[in-house]
């Protein structure tokens, strides 16, 4: 990258740690004044032979892949410049066809689904 006159700067981020998220936001605002691109790629997954129970796996996966990423976005979105772009990377595990319950899949795929509805208990995510 240096040969192309690009000079990336590393800043550690633990998406599961609010202080780390806030530290990144403070750094970006102080050093650059805002963001042009935000890439969302929080993705943890357990191996098939993981020892943790399914409920533990589900809780930790949702904590990182949804709730922590949402906190990052809520914190960094105010720093997005008017022309900024947000890129979200997903795996096959995040595709709607993985939801086997047809009614639940319809709810999640509804283009009118709001954050408020997503937080409601009838959808199953708090």
pLDDT tens for the chain, residues 1 to 126: 999 999 988 999 999 999 999 999 999 999 999 999 999 886 788 888 999 998 999 889 888 888 899 999 999 999 999 999 999 887 766 667 777 788 878 888 888 888 887 776 454 544
Q: 38 is in which domain, residue-wise?
A: 2-94
Q: Give the pLDDT of residue 107.
A: 82
Is there a single domain that holds both residue 30 and residue 70? yes
Say yes or no: 50 and 6 in one domain.
yes
Co-location of 19 and 69 in the same domain: yes
Q: What is the pLDDT of residue 121?
A: 47
Q: What is the CATH number of the domain that holds 47?
A: 3.40.50.720
Q: State whether the Cα torsion 69-86-41-114 is positive or negative.
A: positive
Both 117 and 81 in one domain: the answer is no
| 21: enclosing H helix or E strand | helix 18-32
pTM of the model: 0.77
Same domain, 62 and 74: yes
What pLDDT does residue 79 have?
A: 98
- 21 and 80 co-located in one domain: yes
Domain identity same for 46 and 23: yes
Residue pair 31/18 in contact (Cβ under 8 Å)? The answer is no
Residues 112 and 58 in one domain: no
Total number of domains in the chain: 2
The single residue listed with the structure tokens 């102080």 is 30
Statement to judge: residues 56 and 101 lie in one domain: no
CA distance 9 to 2: 11
Residue-level pLDDT at 122:
52
Closest CA to 79 of 28, 13, 21, 14: 28
């Amino acid at each position: 990258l240096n040969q192309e006159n690009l000079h990336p700067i590393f800043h550690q981020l633990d998406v599961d740690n609010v202080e780390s998220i806030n530290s990144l936001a403070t750094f970006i605002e102080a050093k650059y004044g805002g963001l042009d691109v935000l890439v969302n790629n929080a993705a943890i997954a357990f191996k098939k032979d993981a020892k943790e129970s399914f409920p533990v796996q589900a809780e930790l996966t949702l904590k990182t892949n949804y709730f922590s990423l949402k906190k990052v976005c809520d914190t960094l979105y105010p720093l997005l410049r008017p022309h900024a772009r947000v890129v979200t990377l997903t795996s096959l595990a995040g595709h709607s066809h993985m939801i086997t319950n047809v009614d639940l899949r319809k709810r999640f795929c509804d283009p009118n689904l709001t954050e408020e509805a997503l937080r409601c208990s009838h959808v199953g995510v708090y």
